[in-house]
Structure 1
Amino acid sequence: MSKAVGIIPARWNSTRFPGKPLYPIAGKPLLRHVWERCLCAKNLDLVVIATDDMRVVSAAFEWGAEVALTSRRHRSGTNRVAEVARKTKQFAYVINIQGDEPLIDYRLIDKVVQKLRSDRKVGVVTAAHPFEDPADASSPHQVKVVLDLRGNALYFSRAPIPAPRNDDRVVLASSQSNQWARMPMAHGRRSLFLRHQGIYGFRRKTLLQFVRWKPVRWSALNRSNNCAH
């Protein structure tokens, strides 16, 4: 069976939160929470932390993690992951797991790998779920995604999408409510705002092709990995 590697990009000089990978949460660095959850995934043959900073390297070595020191010039986490993927030719599948997702479910990682293994036509797999607090759909810190009827991603944005027409009312339920953020009826069903989750599964060939593409102009506005090209 073709092998899969999970790579966690961990940039030190985050624009919004410098030093984020080693920020302590519940007694452990943020990055360690992510790494430990990745180790529980049955479909990953190797987990690698990809970073541009020796502070992360030193800390991760203490946990026993596999670490790759990468360039500081990458414009996105995907490019950082691709640098490692170029040197790990034995892996057919490359799973990019965001370093700021301490609660990521290892079962989701396994599902992403399984989808790539089961469908040769699929080059990239990612995931999304309805917002737990629909009011968060308006936050620019949360990436939203719109899907077609087959589950293919149509568009990613930090803005609330799908956007209603002026005469359509959107209800953003508060955290005290059990309601979802409701949109107008679509295709016979009531649609929801979907939060994009921090995971991308690539066929290695697809990933290396993706990072060669030039970024489009609107990607700078969204500042999101999925909008980088």
Structure 2
Amino acid sequence: MRFTVLIPARLASTRLPDKPLADIAGIPMIVRVAQRALLSGAGRVVVATDSPRIAETCAAFQIASVMTHADHPSGSDRLAEACNLLQLGDDEVVVNVQGDEPLIDPGLIDAVAGLLDDRPDCVMSTAAHAIHTLADLHNPNLVKVVLDARNTALYFSRAPIPAARDAGGQAWWGAGSTQPPPLRHVGIYGYRVGFLREFPRMPQAPLEQLEALEQLRALWHGHRIAVHISAEAPGPGVDTPEDLERVRRLFV
């Protein structure tokens, strides 16, 4: 299927100033992300930014970009504006790849896009992978997701879900168990463009505000999100200077 990858990028990070322009083995991070996305089956890859510096950097590496407003309240608003600037049709598909994922797997991008081709009942798609430790299950910084029989999201939470009543605080999955492992959500999203244009105008959901998870707005309003289960965890993202140094070592 034909789809577009949109990569939102701003210079507003407080933990790592100018993060999209951080050097990774001679190439800015935002360019590294776009280059990985270009290895997917996307018809085009576009950086959506409010920064002339980012746009100029992309142009220097022949990466397409669009300039969006600086005052968007959320990332979905920025993506919706980018869809309008690119004159995408409502029936087209876009995949939102985060600008701090320089090791994103192109195959994961294709899988998330392909779900919307396979699942006409869903307006969004995303990904998840198995959790292997109790520490990760109980880490509120790692978002969990539970699914139905067709791998459609039932709920996303920072809490340890599902909760095994009789497990006594032990891992309830693994060898000898008939239960599948819990799933960690991966922050990559596919959208039908028509839904993406509508999404920022939807009232925020109480659960969205409580959990600080924007995807819960879609579920709250009765929309469906298809989930691809990845065999492996994605490559490390970059949020802090320590993350950046870790990723730089992988490019040496």
TM-score, normalised relative to structure 2:
0.74
Root-mean-square deviation (CA, aligned residues, Å) is: 2.6
Residue type at the aligned position of 2:106:
Y
For residues 129-168 of structure 1, the aligned pairs below 5 Å read: 129-131=129-131, 135-165=135-165, 168=167
Instruction: Tell me the SS of whatever aligns to 1:21.
Output: helix
Residue type at the aligned position of 1:34:
V
Structure ranking higher on relative contact order (CA contacts 8 Å, 6+ apart): 2
Residue type at the aligned position of 1:190:
Q
Alpha carbons of structure 1 residues 118 and 14: separation in structure 2 relative to 1, 3 Å: same
Residues in 1 aligned to 2:32 and 2:99: alpha-carbon distance in whole angstroms:
9
Instruction: Tell me the SS of whatever aligns to 1:156.
Output: strand
Alpha carbons of structure 1 residues 4 and 160: separation in structure 2 relative to 1, 3 Å: same
Alpha carbons of structure 1 residues 170 and 67: separation in structure 2 relative to 1, 3 Å: farther
Moved more, 219-228 or 200-209: 219-228
Instruction: Tell me the SS of whatever aligns to 1:149.
Output: coil
Aligned to 2:81: 83
Residues in 2 aligned to 1:102 and 1:51: alpha-carbon distance in whole angstroms:
17
Structure 1 runs, 4 residues or longer, greater than 6 Å off: none
Is the Cα–Cα contact under 8 Å of residues 31 and 99 in structure 1 kept in the other structure?
yes
Is the Cα–Cα contact under 8 Å of residues 125 and 201 in structure 1 kept in the other structure?
yes
Alpha carbons of structure 1 residues 72 and 38: separation in structure 2 relative to 1, 3 Å: same
Structure ranking higher in strand proportion = 1
Residue 38 of structure 1 deviates from its aligned partner by: 0.4
Residues in 1 aligned to 2:211 and 2:24: alpha-carbon distance in whole angstroms:
27
Aligned to 1:11: 10
Aligned to 1:123: 123
Cα deviations by residue, 1:120-179 (Å, 9 ceiling, x for unpaired): 3332111111136663333333222111222111111233322344x53344xxxxxxxx
Residues in 1 aligned to 2:36 and 2:134: alpha-carbon distance in whole angstroms:
26
Cα deviations by residue, 1:164-223 (Å, 9 ceiling, x for unpaired): 44x53344xxxxxxxxxx3369xx832323121121111111211222201123323433
Residues in 2 aligned to 1:111 and 1:69: alpha-carbon distance in whole angstroms:
28
Residue 72 of structure 1 deviates from its aligned partner by: 2.0
Is the Cα–Cα contact under 8 Å of residues 12 and 53 in structure 1 kept in the other structure?
yes
Alpha carbons of structure 1 residues 16 and 205: separation in structure 2 relative to 1, 3 Å: same
Instruction: Tell me the SS of whatever aligns to 2:78.
Output: helix
* Residue 22, structure 1, aligned to residue 21, structure 2: yes
TM-score, normalised relative to structure 1:
0.80
Residue 62 of structure 1 deviates from its aligned partner by: 1.7
Aligned to 1:212: 201
Residues in 2 aligned to 1:213 and 1:37: alpha-carbon distance in whole angstroms:
32
Aligned to 2:223: none
Residues in 1 aligned to 2:210 and 2:132: alpha-carbon distance in whole angstroms:
25
Aligned to 1:72: 70
Aligned to 1:104: 104
Structure 1 runs not aligned, ≥5 long: 172-181
